[in-house]
Amino acid sequence: MDMKRKFNLLFVIALMLCVVGCQTRNGDLGDGMRNFVDDYGDSVMVPAHPQRIVSVSPAITEILFALGANERMVGRTDFCLYPEAASAIESIGGISNLNIEKILSLHPDLVISGSMVPEKTVQHLLSLGVPVACVIEKSRFDDLYQNILNVGKLVGMTDKAEQLNAGLQQRLTSVLDSLGVSHLADDQRPSVYYVVGYGKEGNYTAGGNTFINDIIKMAGGSNVAEGITGWNFSLEALMVADPDYIMIRKEDASAFCSMPPYNGLRAVREGKVIAIESGLVDLQVPRNIDGIIFIAKALHDK
């Protein structure tokens, strides 16, 4: 299993277990420190303007780059593959098996963690005096903007985070309005099935309680799995739904479309398969805007 597939599987498992976190509160306490209550409700003392940041989440890494805080990053995980420039930053190993000694050797003044880091690892780092704040992936698309703001607060770039959010929202609204998908009636929305997993490993998709469901709706589609909670979807239900469009990671598209019984789906037969870069929708990151636009154009830009 290659690294991208392994990460996608880890992400889905983590999102199944993810609980929407607490709203972040922070306040200056003098001496350049601030109190930050993270998404797990832990109160952490963090620098007001950290200069040596370690990211333990691909989503956090993307947000740090989008904010322009990447020059202060001294560590990232093996799975932090975007943007390409992230590969130049020192790796601290995987996510579930972080190299604690490596992290300590980088002398971070802030570690920002995501959903997939074990709680015992977070507590171990805290016990060693390393400030660790968790900003986790959440279940609704709009939580992306809160995550960006929270990361901005953590790195002393609240204004830049607000500007980034405003720019993302403005761009998304402008494109969706131009495509005429902002206020589509239900009967004007083509049905879409997003392939998360298929074949012998089982059939998995994004249910109605996921931010991917929100992405499909915002792009002007109707998620055939909106009625389920979580990620499990039966093959029988998929064949009965026979959606107008299949959406799938581009690296999986060819194999899916050639495999029975999926090759019998109407969307496959008619060439209505949207092969999308996984990072556009599988992570809760600024690139979600690109993902929504990409899907909306595939569905409605005739």
What are the structural domain ranges in the chain? Answer: 17-161, 169-300
The least confident of 25-29, 179-183, 212-216, 225-229 is 25-29
Architecture in CATH for domain 17-161: 3-Layer(aba) Sandwich (3.40)
Topology of domain 169-300 in CATH is Rossmann fold (3.40.50)
The verdict on pTM exceeding 0.85 is: yes
Q: What pLDDT score was predicted for residue 278?
A: 87
Q: What pLDDT score was predicted for residue 7?
A: 52
Q: pLDDT (tens digit, 9 = 90+) per residue, 227-237?
A: 999 899 999 99
In SS3 terms, the chain reads as CCHHHHHHHHHHHHHHHCCCCCCCEEEECCCCEEEEECCCCCEEEEECCCCCEEEECHHHHHHHHHHCCHHHEEEECCCCCCCHHHHHCCECECCCCECHHHHHHCCCCEEEECCCCCHHHHHHHHHCCCCEEECCCCCCCCHHHHHHHHHHHHCCCHHHHHHHHHHHHHHHHHHHHHHCCCCCCHHHCCEEEEECECHHHCCECCCCCCHHHHHHHHCCCEECCCCCCCCECCHHHHHHHCCCEEEEEHHHHHHHHHCCCHHHCHHHHCCCEEEECHHHCCCCCCCHHHHHHHHHHHHHCC
| Equal CATH topology for 17-161 and 169-300 | yes
The least confident of 28-32, 183-187, 296-300 is 28-32
Pairwise pLDDT comparison (88 vs 30), residue with the higher score: 88
| Stretch 190-210: mean pLDDT | 96
